[in-house]
Structure 1
């Protein structure tokens, strides 16, 4: 029984070694190139991968690295023809033939070939292509690194392997990643896209720390990886970085990160503290230079978004004359036109009209000249320089911006207090009580401030009212106009359209009182304005919309606007446009913006009396001289002038307020250019019957005393 079992096992065991097929290694022969042809059995027929030209150049550089697999071709009689068909290596053959046609090698050059028996040439060709394994990307990264370590330049590596220099730099960057990340990439635990994101920094410690977070369950995509590694850095397009300059930052020891895998961002500055200190030192030097000119104060900010807040409580001297000479102004216009043309060319460059290095060099040369022209101090008297301040800031492009002629609230209040005190001068009919306020904004003896004759509303009884009063009055009118525009979609729409068309088709947006930058108008230091009901209505409306809209912009704001009804959008649109309306001007010439404000006022049928305006001692009568008070009473209540013309100024102002309180009288700067008011009716002191007083002169004309429109 035992022997039988043993015999069975022997019969079922492995076959003897003699039964195994032998492995055949075919011989290698040197065959002349002109005897080699691509075999019909070669399965590679579709072009893919490296081109023949590139392969030919590589063979010319390093020689043939791999032999060809061929079979003997036979003639029609079945005899050897002396010709050989290449069943594996057809692309190498074509590259060799190209080199021969270019006389770079001889056509009789012998080529090492593996001679197959040719029994199944198609099978051999397919196997040679199917079982070929592509190089792992990590092997390529590390191979490029080895070549670079041997001293080969990026350009030379790129030339040898027919890739771009950027491709080589990207591969070298990936090869320099933390070994922990490279191991994860090799084991398919990390994608190529995420590895590229990690390489935004060269700091292996940070790379590995973030990788550990991901291993602990914090799943992150490539975008999140980049953001996490860049959260403490500053992008090079930051205004501070542009202002300081990358060269200066690096010279001070700062390091930079570059993302070689994204063209739309970077580089990044890794030391924001150093950048801040360099920017602060540079702008502080500008501050010291400006203060050395004699200005009272200078505020600086490195954040363009803070400029609006700095201006919130400041007033500025109007109509400051340029400090440039006539030739410099002409040069500025010429250079600005050229600069804008070059910027446009850079945005629209193509192969037919490329943006060249010379164009960039010209831009770099023009920019500092224009910045210096723009930041040149205006023409100011010594007195103006001594009492005004300067704002020094950065624009979004990193350009320095210096703005002159600002007054702080206490300076404006002090000037008005001095004006009120001077207004108490007894019986001095030719005294301008606001002269010192005007001085706070302008110097009357300065030739740059000659009063124009196209603002007659600022001249009453032969004397111009003060500039600050003119601005206060027109500030009230501006608020009333804003409030009316906010409630009239058609007027807001037309105002916006007018501003856009003025900018795009005519001489510029200055022809419109609607500043579609948008640039919100802030009115500060206007006597009594914050207590005015119309002002509060505008503020309450703004607060209501502010509470309703999301705190951030972008998609959140877009979605919120999309959710509004058409009526709500119209209301919001009108409100936003209204906040940009600027109809404030002084006692000098009225520009086209003021003229356009008249048209806007007509469009909304502005009625400032209905808006709540009252001519009081504080808002008007206490801020003009005695002749101007008498002129107001003469216009509103002609028969009552005798009741006040002998009074001293403070009492006269209060009495004028009382006499005019129940009339429709308005200061000329507040009068509508389109409406005709009903004349007041007065009772004569010498008759019993009520008779209508003569039509006051101010009702015969339009705004500022201009002729009324013909019916």
Structure 2
């Protein structure tokens, strides 16, 4: 729309709005007609007019061509304004809300002498409240209006008492669209100016609008290097301390509606496809989750479970701290016991015949009898396998359940659990019962030195991957390490692998960095290098290049770099299997869940351990029945079978456990 209103008294024909050339009328033109239906026409001189603060077009443009047209053809369209009031009294000044470029051009013509100082300028007078909407309506149809001007103008209408629904109706927009515009209008004014100047783009604005705090918006923008101000990084900085309603399992379990109904506030990302929200009140969220899970815990107790611990955010490490009741085989039925006894008697008779055949050097007969014996043994084992698995009588009184949320936010129950304190008591009792003065022999190790290095390389990479995202923990751990070496240098702490900063990096097993943790570390390293300034990348540490660059950075950037560097220095590798108390301490502090980074497969574990170890693992993690076939299968086949048996169990070898 290139001109607003023809110079005429609209009281004669209040529905008439002239647009030269039949230009396209935007949807707002009907609203404009309503606004101007009762307006009046007057004239004023240039000195009586000022540009209004409500003029939505804030970016100035050149008016030389417009001034030339006015000088040649005169002023063809009126200006629009409202009478300025101070303390309710008219000042005699009229603020121009539409026609600011024409006013500027007239001023230039008066200054050059092309127009007289008392040049009569036609005006359409409206009220101050109507002026904001009218200015916006006039400019919506023009291609050179910056989007930021639209956002700010709509916010001004809301500030003057207009409802969001009314604004949406006026301009034929969806209510959601208006809400998004208002979110963008709430970005810090300095950043909006950068948007107008092309320094920010629309994606930057969407990320900044995630929070309402102008200081937080500006801090996030200023903390990132100029060449690395990506919308993703802005969003990450602004939501680092908030809970994502779409990805957090506790938030998904409680539900946004229930959280808001309890008085909780949710900051919504109006620009996300799934209407993502962010929660700051973690305490209220946890309370609601505990209350909701408490109902299910009550039902479990009603069903006969002795105790129920509610741990909404329990991970694998937390659950591993609980013991499991021991299982034992129950009694055979009378029929099965009789069948097993009959088969055993037949086997004993065959054993005598086999011995006689061997004594008589009759190898052919001995082989035939051996085959018969194997068949009978298989039948006996099948009968014995029908014994039910039951809770060990010593553990029955200790058994309970842990109620937690899985990764999808759904309730899950760990049954037949034993509390950590009871596990320790049970272990002490068992130790006392088996203490004897006999000389102990060195236990056979399940893990070779090579497998030990491979497993501890994986736990090292997992520790590093977790640490790089926990800057506060990295700072605490760095301080802890230095304290042990500096304050207590003669206590032998420096010899423990996890209590020193290994600047040379850990010596990892071959191909260990091909893991998920290794890939995550490599990706973060590339991201950090890309964000360093040229001086920092050149490594001018001798001239203070890196140090000077770090001194100029905000604390979040320095802490992020510190977290990665401390993470990369961790070394939890072992060349020979032994206890790793420092790994357990650090793993618990980081809430490390090794099942996220490692899984027992034939290639990663079972191909490299003895058969009896495979049987023991499957018995412990699944059941004794599941482990029976492994004793008969070829080792390679048994390794694959063990992998399948443990596919969804989340079992970990001792070297990878933090509990």
Q: Using structure 2 for the length normalisation, give the TM-score.
A: 0.38
Q: Which has the higher contact order (CA 8 A, sep 6+)?
A: 2
Q: TM-score, normalised by structure 1?
A: 0.36
For the pair shown, the structure with the greater C-alpha radius of gyration is: 1
